[in-house]
Amino acid sequence: MKEVDLSFLRSLLGEYEGDPHALIEILQRAQEHYGYLPKEVIAEVSRVTGTPAAKIIGVATFYAQFRLNPVGKYLIMLCKGTACHVNGADGIEKAVSEELGVGDGETTPDGLFTLKTVACLGCCSLSPVMMVNDETFGSLTPQKAVEILRGYRGGERS
């Protein structure tokens, strides 16, 4: 297993020294840098801030924005909220899972895609909807979702 370089994190923690309300911002910036929150990062945040690691993990698992495991180059967030569910999100999830060969929370063996279902993306008028990284796709059908992913795999999208 590759060792995590904590020099960025140590510099970051120095910026927030003495601020007991900065945990979420620290975790956001750490995840932006590392791509996820490695256990070494959680341990260092705990050590420096005095916040118990269990509390940090509790925050990281409560908010859907945080990840405790690495994700693929393309993070697919598939909405399973009420509007999306009613408009066919289950069929889209099935098509995407079959296309990629992964289930919810899993990453393709090539490290290209991670599939994550979420409770709501806040785009109900576009339902059913998914995001790939920062790009939103609405009014999906199973076939349209698969075509979008094939575009990413083929390099037509970036």
Of the two residues 157 and 110, the one the predictor is more confident about is: 110
The Cα-based distances of 8 to 29, 48, 67, 96, 99 in angstroms read: 10, 14, 18, 36, 37
For residue 1, pLDDT beyond 70: no
pLDDT for the residue numbered 64? 78
Q: In the structure encoding, which two tokens stand for residue 108, read together?
A: 């393709």
pLDDT digits (tens, 9 = 90+) for 29-42: 999 999 899 999 99
Average pLDDT, the chain: 94
Q: In the structure encoding, which two tokens stand for residue 112, read together?
A: 């290209």
Domains and CATH numbers, the chain: 7-62 (no CATH), 74-153 (3.40.30.10)
pLDDT for the residue numbered 18? 81
What phi and psi values does residue 62 have, to the nearest 5 degrees? -75, -45
pLDDT for the residue numbered 101? 97
pLDDT for the residue numbered 142? 98
